[in-house]
Structure 1
């Protein structure tokens, strides 16, 4: 499987957020609403697990309580469960009208909950699927993970093109092959967005720069996908959702998110975990100091009002 195809994986998860965004604006037409409901039911995959970090009380979206989502970009091959090469935790707070997006570097050394070993965090999915991934992230960040969105491969370029392209604010002048990405606000089609989100070697920030561009592209797709002007392409978007996404967010919960949380997407803060690389027993890991981990935990707890 090529590296290009691997890097496409993580973007499928934004389709669920697009779906949430157009639930409300699409309700005016029965056909649109019916197809939204059908797709939402098709991708709905509940998970029965015992949380590592319990909430003080059950999440109540009618009371506009903050919640969290784990986005997993998974490279799955035949006969192989795969690994979550992209892990992004999103917290949504409607009262603060804000979202926070935290990328967890895939090589971060953590305790794999349920396996009893310290390993790279992206191995949790290979060992125990969604449940082990959610439990491991909960333990590492010390916050409840309320929902997951698992994204499979295929269709990245088509997704961006389906919403009519996206706009991002680029902070680094660089080129990939024959495509130049100047500083400032730039418009990207699907092919360009793929190149933009993959670039790492020319960025002095390395993987952090790549993670930032991934989050920018996610924001861009959410923004365009939730826009009324893109509804005429909703068939293409819903088809991609149905083919590539699994989530435990139900249709009713999507409607609650659209009704009570939609303003939060207008203010997005991007977070990153500071650390350094080190070899342990000949294997390269990303090591996060405990003080940094505690700072990130406290930041997310505050946003979730825990």
Structure 2
């Protein structure tokens, strides 16, 4: 029997249709498996490796706030830990998130700020609270210093900052000071004015430099805020979707927080637009030597001002 030309045309089309459907099905299943793998890996990493409660923060109260999409205060600690040393919090920032106003506020507390160390009963540099009593004492000390309530904390080892920048594929930011780094990680780099792109090691040189900055530690903390904002922007971008697994691994090895996986999902879902309006501020003070030790003396008026800035977010 002779095959009709119309039948000969239909068979290849049907075959290609089946092949196309099979390819789509494989892609969908592959993406689904990849998404589940990321989800499972993230949940396990957060809840089993990163999650750590502190006695100075009530987890129940914090969960109620995040569940109702209330404004939150989060203490960010950049900790420099070395072998045989408890470490110090070289970077202290209070991150305030207001989902209703779509606002994010980042306030830096200079590490040399002189204040009462809660639990120690003495006046000292605020970053020494971590060396004396870890995250718990740091949280209590910052709350007492500013007269505010902290809902969560996020502690990052400074080494992890470099790894995170590489995990997201590098960052881009606007640099205000021209200088040549003599070689963090033994590699010199020219930090030119204007928009610059940085990898992990270059970022560490960028945030650690102090002596070449006419504003000293104030300039350094400003650069730290810029790096954090750049990482948040890059990490939240669509281009970084394929890097999620790497980011999760870096966080698992270098971060501690009292946020659990469900808390983080709520933040991603309900607080994602706070980046639309970002405010950055650095607490001001005057340097003074007491007993031969350098401190930054922050006047009561400045503390009251910052307290007001945070209270306004929380209202």
In the superposition, the TM-score normalised over structure 1's length comes to 0.84
Does 2:144 match 1:143? no
What is aligned with 1:33? 39
Partner of 2:258 in structure 1? 248
Unpaired segments ≥5 residues, structure 2: 1-31, 183-187
Change (3 A) 1:117 1:206: same
Q: Is the 8 A contact 1:62 1:260 kept in 2?
A: no
Which runs of 5 or more residues in structure 1 are unaligned?
Answer: 1-25
Distance apart, 1:27 and its partner CA: 11
CA contact 1:27–1:33 (8 Å) conserved in 2: no
Q: Does 1:265 align with 2:275?
A: yes
Structure 1 stretch displaced more, 263-272 or 282-291: 263-272
Bigger CA radius of gyration? 2
| Residues 189-198 or 133-142, more deviating | 189-198
Cα deviation per residue 1:164-209 (whole Å; 9 max; x = unaligned)? 1111112222222342222222222222222222222222211111
The two structures have a TM-score, normalised by structure 2, of 0.82
Bigger relative contact order, structure 1 or 2 (CA pairs below 8 A, ≥6 apart): 1
Within 5 Å, give how 1:194-233 maps onto structure 2.
194-233=204-243
Structure 2 distance, partners of 1:133, 1:115, is 11
Note closer, same or farther for the CA distance 1:94–1:197 as it changes in structure 2 (3 Å cut): same
- Match of 2:293? 283
Aligned match for 1:45, one of 37, 45, 52? 52
Whole-Å separation in 1 of the counterparts to 2:206 and 2:44: 33
Q: CA deviation at 1:76?
A: 2.7
User: 1:107 — aligned with what?
Assistant: 112
Paired residues in the alignment total 276
**3-state DSSP of counterpart to 1:103:** strand
CA 1:252–1:218: 2 relative to 1, 3 Å: same
Displacement of 1:72 in angstroms is 1.4
Q: Which whole-Å deviations, capped at 9, do the CAs of 1:210-238 have from their partners, x for residues lacking one?
A: 11111111111111112222121222211
Instruction: Indicate the SS of the match to 2:271.
Output: helix
CA-based RMSD of the aligned residues comes to 2.1
